[in-house]
Chain A
């Protein structure tokens, strides 16, 4: 599911990144600069997948666990920004603030933004943490197998657990929302090959 070839906020490096595409051969200028660089570039396997030297014992791709902290952190920061915006909107809609002194207005706006931002960031972080725990757990239980099933089951279970103390109906609805979000994400990210199956 987590394809490393796709560039994004959680996978900032990939071979599709043009800034990583540094030519290995010397090029036309190399002939002039150094005779040692003047060799047949077909000896080097260029094109196709890029080649890296991996440190001993390291995996070629980052797995779910290695990515989970970045995902949680991204969720927290996104939640904080979103919650801050919501808080700002609430502050602008607060009509009692209009006639107050500037200091009071400032404090109230800060309170709205920081409290709403913090609580939204916390909920986002908790959801991301649950999803990561379920995802890593599934990956571990299924003998280090990584595919879409992990994502869907983890997302559904996250929704169920997050709303588990709010009653049966809300719990099931939470699970449905989680599963729906995972499906939407999958259809969006893999829209090329999602309908080919």
Chain B
């Protein structure tokens, strides 16, 4: 079912970007809401205000970082699909590692390798739905989507 509900490749980039932003913004709201509440000075109204300002200032940033991650990941994933002409877990693993490396490019080679390995491990542990799906029915319909 998952295979049908996802957008096909070039449009998947926009979709993943938005999905990652939503995840990051909602998760960031929760995290920074609690953090702002805890780190605010005494008094319930001050704590609520700290929580609100934490959400207002930080949650969009978390969402934006997630969106960049999702967008770069999906772009590389689609490029790999186009180049390798097949969809398998290796696409997500490679693009996860490449995304980690690209996004820490300003922090030096050691950081790049570190993020790449982390991202690769994350992608290997939780392969996307496309990796678990049964063999595709492309040959049945003679699909030549990516050729």
Interface 9-mer from A21-29, A32-40, A65-73, A174-182:
A65-73
Q: A73-B14, A125-B25 are in contact. Are A57 and B1 (CB under 8 A)?
A: yes
Q: Which residues of B contact A118 (CB under 8 A)?
A: 64
Q: Could you tell me the distance between the alpha carbons of A58 and B18 in the complex, rounded to whole angstroms?
A: 22
Q: Produce 1/0 per residue, B46-84, CB < 8 A to A.
A: 000000100010011101100100010000000000000
Q: Produce 1/0 per residue, A46-80, CB < 8 A to B.
A: 00000000010110000000101111111111000
A150 within 8 Å of B by Cβ?
A: no
Q: Is the CB of B1 within 8 A of A77?
A: no
Q: Which residues of A contact B25 (CB under 8 A)?
A: 125-126, 129
Q: Is the CB of A77 within 8 A of B14?
A: yes
Q: Is the CB of B60 within 8 A of A73?
A: no
Q: Could you tell me the distance between the alpha carbons of A129 and B61 in the complex, rounded to whole angstroms?
A: 14
Interface 9-mer from B4-12, B91-99, B123-131:
B4-12
Q: Could you tell me the distance between the alpha carbons of A118 and B7 in the complex, rounded to whole angstroms?
A: 25
Q: Is the CB of B67 within 8 A of A76?
A: yes
Q: Is the CB of B4 within 8 A of A70?
A: no
Q: Which residues of B contact A55 (CB under 8 A)?
A: 1, 4
A165 within 8 Å of B by Cβ?
A: yes
B19 within 8 Å of A by Cβ?
A: yes
Q: Produce 1/0 per residue, B1-33, CB < 8 A to A.
A: 100110100010111111101100110000000
* Majority secondary structure of chain B interface residues (helix, strand, loop or mixed): helix
A92 → B minimal CB distance (Å): 25
Q: Is the CB of B60 within 8 A of A77?
A: no
Q: Produce 1/0 per residue, A109-146, CB < 8 A to B.
A: 00000000010011101101100100000000000000
Q: Is the CB of B5 within 8 A of A70?
A: no
Chain B CB within 10 Å, residue with most, of A9, A69, A73, A132: A73
Q: A55-B1, A58-B4, A165-B52 are in contact. Are A73 and B19 (CB under 8 A)?
A: yes
A18 within 8 Å of B by Cβ?
A: no
Additional A-B contact list (7), CB under 8 Å, known A69-B19, A69-B22? A9-B14, A73-B17, A76-B71, A77-B71, A121-B67, A125-B18, A165-B56
B residues apposed to A, CB below 8 Å: 1, 4-5, 7, 11, 13-19, 21-22, 25-26, 52, 56, 59-61, 63-64, 67, 71
